[in-house]
Structure 1
Amino acid sequence: MRFIAITLIVHGPHPLTGEVKTTTARLREVVDNAVLAEELGFDGFGVGERHERPFISSSPPVVLSHIAAKTSRIRLFTAVTTLSLLDPVRAFEDYSTLDHLSGGRLELIIGKGNGAAQAKLFHVTAEDQWERNREGYELFRRLWREDSVTWTGRFRPGLREAEALPRPLQRPIRVWHGSATSKDSVELAAKWGDPLFSANVTNPVEPYAELIDHYRERWAFHGHDPADAVVGAGSAGYYAARTSQEAVETYRPIYEARLALFRKAGLDPVFPTLEDAIERGSILVGSPRQIVDKVHRYHERFGHEVMHIAADADGLTDKQHRAALELFQSEIAPVLRRDIPSRPFPGPAVTA
């Protein structure tokens, strides 16, 4: 199994102290966490894309470019690139440039995005967002592979023998399709023979497992070898300590602060207690052995070979955050890497 640390760059009050970092400090913290992830041995680091409060992750290629300059080995992920909102030509130019600057370490996770603000900022509606995502990806895919593209679509002006520069380093690049609840992303991934990344954050295991099962069915329907399907899955939070009691005691106030935010927003939490979240959800809180066992249970249902954990401290102190990540890499990751086979991440297909 391989592991990536992901941040959506939430920018809000500290869940326990109420302190709010400056935007500059929060963005620098993201870069520092990426450097730490590489130092500790994570395979990848991901930056989300959101266009509304409480996130400040509206420009993943800029953040990832800075991370690329501070690191040398770790794979760089988007989580997710919202192609339903973006001009695919401009997105190609940004990410092709980043591909070179990172030495071919870029991997994209694409999706339609979510949130009401995108309709106001980009005039993308619930009625057309899936079709925009599909059309945007299919053009983006061609731009990455073809030196000259002639194309017509619904949502942007057509292209005639268009050349988009710079030409990318990785040819082709691997593109994952992020999926939370809809079969549209699953179908797009299966059609093009691309890997699927299940959000696996909000709900119990079954809805996500059903989507992954559907992906594998559609993968075979489109004529792909079932052995070639690749699945990744997320998690809803992470804190490991030597004993489960210590882990739960430390993480409980953080989780209860999260519940309070849900209720303040008028939302009913799916898991009303930390114990319920540990039992039925994807949150990874406990001893190393408990977390290993839980990932194994999810793997039995998903068959995934890549997993993400939260990159942010999320209310932990810096010391607690680092200690938990070190424990992950020293006692959890080695067991899961041994027990769950995974294919290597791709590298650049060309070197000049």
Structure 2
Amino acid sequence: MQFGVFTVGDVTPDPTSGRTPSEHERIKAMVAIALKAEEVGLDVFATGEHHNPPFVPSSPTTLLGHIAARTDRLVLSTATTLITTNDPVKIAEDYATLQHLADGRVDLMLGRGNTGPVYPWFGQDIRQGINLAKENYALLRKLWDEDTVDWEGTFRTPLQAFTATPRPLDGVAPFVWHGSIRSPEIAEQAAFYGDGFFHNNIFWPASHTRRMVNLYRRRYAHHGHGTPDQAIVGLGGQVFMRANSQQAVREFRPYFDNAPVYGHGPSLEEFTEQTPLTVGSPQQVIERTLTFRDHVGDYQRQLFLMDHAGLPLKTVLEQLDILGEQVVPVLREEFAKLRPAGVPDAPTHAARIAAKESILEKVQTA
């Protein structure tokens, strides 16, 4: 099972000091967080994609390419890549290039995002969001799977004898997660292609997450990719930790109360009861995270949001130390004990190459 962190790259004032980091500071902080994630033994760093203030990660491949050059082991991902407003040709070429630079340590999460105005900024109609996601991904797959592409669709100009360059590393495209919070059509899309499904459940109750993941699992099996428990699932999460829960709550409360995304709404106590947000000791985070399996079954990737709501970089790095030293080693051991033998590991580039070679051998000997 993979553990990591994801960032949305928000530029938010620190409510305890009133200071707002500059865009330059925030971008540099995201790099520092990725480097710290590798240092403390995490598996994945993922960045969102936004094209509006107060967010800075408008160019994920630039950021991840820089991080790739400074890391050796970390899987670099997105959270999410906007499949609706990015040209599939550009996605195919950008992420194949990143895949080469990172020696295969790349996958991506595709989604529609949650910012309505981004559609007209890139010449699209939000009312076509689902249709754009479907058509654009079908083209992206074709661009990665076929050396020469002839294609005609609804939302972009046709392609004739087109080759996306560079080709995917070792002939194996980056693994794709389809990220969705509420759209069954996206769960169906992930299942149809046999891709991963990532439910960023940070604002949702367990009952909703269970329904979405179970839909994906059923449809994954329906499309012949394996049994429901062999489907590839990822979850989000939010944590803030100190030595004891009282200290954690006292320190985190002003950030929660003033955060743009959930401040001035439900109380911290109500929010932690109704969503995966866990504010407490490392042991409480361990116990809460282990319950996610009760809701969705065995899964392959757990990403935590830790650098949001104006938390200063120093605090975030302290959180990563706690996560890497006290929490993730226990979670790895406990999840491994509980996982049945037939449940697959998280996909990696090396494993997917081996699977491709195995299929070719079977075809050649048939």
Answer whether TM exceeds 0.5 for this pair: yes
Matches within 5 A, 1:247-326: 247-258=248-259, 262-263=263-264, 269=265, 272-303=266-297, 304-312=299-307, 314-326=309-321
Q: Secondary structure at the match of 1:71?
A: coil
Deviating more after overlay: 321-330 vs 286-295: 321-330
How many angstroms does 1:314 deviate by? 4.1
Residues 285, 26 of structure 1: CA spacing in aligned structure 2 closer, same or farther, 3 A cutoff?
Answer: same
Q: Deviations over 1:133-183 (max 9, x none)?
A: 111111111111211111111111112221111112150321000011111
TM-score, length-normalised on structure 1?
A: 0.92
Give the structure 1 partner of residue 244 of structure 2.
243
How many angstroms does 1:350 deviate by? 6.5
Residues 134, 205 of structure 1: CA spacing in aligned structure 2 closer, same or farther, 3 A cutoff?
Answer: same
Structure 1's unaligned 5+ residue stretches are 264-268
- How far, CA to CA, are the matches of 2:186 and 2:316 in structure 1? 33
Give the structure 1 partner of residue 87 of structure 2.
87
How many angstroms does 1:12 deviate by? 3.0
Q: Tell me if the contact between 2:14 and 2:312 (Cα under 8 Å) persists in the aligned partners.
A: no
Deviating more after overlay: 109-118 vs 333-342: 333-342
Q: Residue type matched to 2:29 in 1?
A: E
Q: Secondary structure at the match of 1:166?
A: coil
Residues 311, 75 of structure 1: CA spacing in aligned structure 2 closer, same or farther, 3 A cutoff?
Answer: farther
Q: Secondary structure at the match of 1:5?
A: strand
Residues 74, 80 of structure 1: CA spacing in aligned structure 2 closer, same or farther, 3 A cutoff?
Answer: same
Give the structure 2 partner of residue 266 of structure 1.
none
Q: Secondary structure at the match of 1:63?
A: helix
- How far, CA to CA, are the matches of 2:261 and 2:83 in structure 1? 33
Matches within 5 A, 1:1-352: 1-169=1-169, 171-226=172-227, 227-235=229-237, 237-258=238-259, 262-263=263-264, 269=265, 272-303=266-297, 304-312=299-307, 314-341=309-336, 343-348=345-350
- How far, CA to CA, are the matches of 1:317 and 1:14 in structure 2? 7
Q: Deviations over 1:219-266 (max 9, x none)?
A: 12212212420111001x321122111111111111111279744xxx
- How far, CA to CA, are the matches of 1:330 and 1:260 in structure 2? 29
- How far, CA to CA, are the matches of 1:185 and 1:344 in structure 2? 20
How many angstroms does 1:198 deviate by? 0.2
- How far, CA to CA, are the matches of 2:66 and 2:306 in structure 1? 16
- How far, CA to CA, are the matches of 1:98 and 1:194 in structure 2? 20
Over the matched positions of the two proteins, sequence identity in percent amounts to: 35
Q: Tell me if the contact between 1:16 and 1:315 (Cα under 8 Å) persists in the aligned partners.
A: no
Aligned residues: 343
How many angstroms does 1:316 deviate by? 3.8
Residues 259, 84 of structure 1: CA spacing in aligned structure 2 closer, same or farther, 3 A cutoff?
Answer: closer
- How far, CA to CA, are the matches of 1:230 and 1:340 in structure 2? 15
- How far, CA to CA, are the matches of 2:87 and 2:119 in structure 1? 15
Residues 145, 311 of structure 1: CA spacing in aligned structure 2 closer, same or farther, 3 A cutoff?
Answer: farther
Q: Residue type matched to 1:294 in 2?
A: R
Deviating more after overlay: 240-249 vs 67-76: 240-249
How many angstroms does 1:120 deviate by? 2.8
Q: Residue type matched to 1:320 in 2?
A: T
- How far, CA to CA, are the matches of 1:21 and 1:139 in structure 2? 39
Q: Secondary structure at the match of 1:172?
A: coil
How many angstroms does 1:124 deviate by? 2.3
TM-score, length-normalised on structure 2?
A: 0.88
Q: Tell me if the contact between 1:247 and 1:285 (Cα under 8 Å) persists in the aligned partners.
A: yes
Q: Secondary structure at the match of 1:201?
A: helix
Q: Secondary structure at the match of 2:234?
A: strand
- How far, CA to CA, are the matches of 2:162 and 2:353 in structure 1? 22
Give the structure 1 partner of residue 364 of structure 2.
none
- How far, CA to CA, are the matches of 2:283 and 2:263 in structure 1? 30
Q: Tell me if the contact between 2:149 and 2:163 (Cα under 8 Å) persists in the aligned partners.
A: yes
Residues 319, 10 of structure 1: CA spacing in aligned structure 2 closer, same or farther, 3 A cutoff?
Answer: closer
- How far, CA to CA, are the matches of 1:59 and 1:259 in structure 2? 23
Q: Tell me if the contact between 2:85 and 2:122 (Cα under 8 Å) persists in the aligned partners.
A: yes
Residues 50, 318 of structure 1: CA spacing in aligned structure 2 closer, same or farther, 3 A cutoff?
Answer: closer
- How far, CA to CA, are the matches of 1:112 and 1:80 in structure 2? 8
